[in-house]
Chain A
Amino acid sequence: GQNIDQPTEMTATEGAIVQINCTYQTSGFNGLFWYQQHAGEAPTFLSYNVLDGLEEKGRFSSFLSRSKGYSYLLLKELQMKDSASYLCAVRDRGAAGNKLTFGGGTRVLVKP
């Protein structure tokens, strides 16, 4: 089975940086995804890490350490539209069909 932990909620100021941590335990790691989900909408893909290190994509970066079972999503130059839930999801090596297990999500509130 899998166990994925991330903080429930974070608050930050417009223009600032926020780091959302995710720790996981899995029997056979085969990739970690970050999704953004605005209230009442579907999750949208942000990033994918399968090797250790940092993946940068514009204002968003994602880091992975497989030995520590740890990832973070870094949001820079925060904008009001970044207020959303951020879901960490892990794929297990034994999972058929790219099956993902999601964490509970971190709700980020950006204040002016």
Chain B
Amino acid sequence: DAMVIQNPRYQVTQFGKPVTLSCSQTLNHNVMYWYQQKSSQAPKLLFHYYDKDFNNEADTPDNFQSRRPNTSFCFLDIRSPGLGDAAMYLCATSSSVPSYEQYFGPGTRLTVT
């Protein structure tokens, strides 16, 4: 059974048109992350939620926002996508216990036209 679910798997949006990616989890983990991964590059952390506390990375553009309405769901909002935002967006979850690994969803591949 899928534990971290991302919808949609593929998303096409137009330059400047807002888009929302969603992530849900059945693990009841209190930490959720959003990563951006471009081709042949490492996943780059955009932000994470520790319970309801939002933690933004210093170099995450203002164009990227996130919402976590409850433990199970987390959303990534891109307010005005540019061509440079085309990437794979990975959602991950973990327990707050330090030894626990992060569980990744299958990702959403975003194309900006």
Give chain A's interface residues, CB within 8 Å of chain B: 30-31, 33, 40-45, 48, 50, 87, 91, 96-105, 107
Chain A interface: which of B12-20, B63-71, B78-86, B92-100? Answer: B92-100
Contacts of A105 in B (CB 8 A): 40-42
Known A99-B45, A99-B48, A100-B45; contact A41-B98, beta-carbon cutoff 8 A? no
B98–A91 touching, CB < 8 Å: yes
Given the known A-B contacts A31-B99, A42-B106, are A97 and B42 also in contact in the complex, defined by CB atoms under 8 Å? no
A-B contacts at CB below 8 angstroms, number: 62
Contact B98 A96, beta carbon cutoff 8 Å: no
Q: How far is the CA of A34 from the CA of B34 in the complex (A)?
A: 19
A45, A96, A104: the one contacting B102 at CB < 8 Å is A45
User: Total interface residues on B, using CB and 8 Å?
Assistant: 28
Return the 10 tightest CB-CB contacts between A and B, nearest first. A42-B104, A102-B42, A97-B50, A45-B101, A97-B31, A98-B94, A104-B42, A43-B104, A102-B43, A42-B106
Cβ–Cβ < 8 Å partners of A99 in chain B: 33, 45, 48, 55
Q: Which residues of B contact A102 (CB under 8 A)?
A: 42-44
Establish whether residues B48 and A97, one from each chain, have CB atoms under 8 Å apart when the complex forms.
Answer: yes
Supposing A30-B98, A50-B99, A91-B98 touch, asked if A42 and B105 sit within 8 A by C-beta, the answer is yes
CB-based contact A31/B98 at 8 Å: yes
Residues of A within 8 A of B76 (CB): none
- Give B57 Cβ to nearest chain A Cβ, in Å: 9
Which residue in chain B gives the minimum CB-CB distance to A30?
B98
Whether B98 lies near A103 (C-beta < 8 A) is no
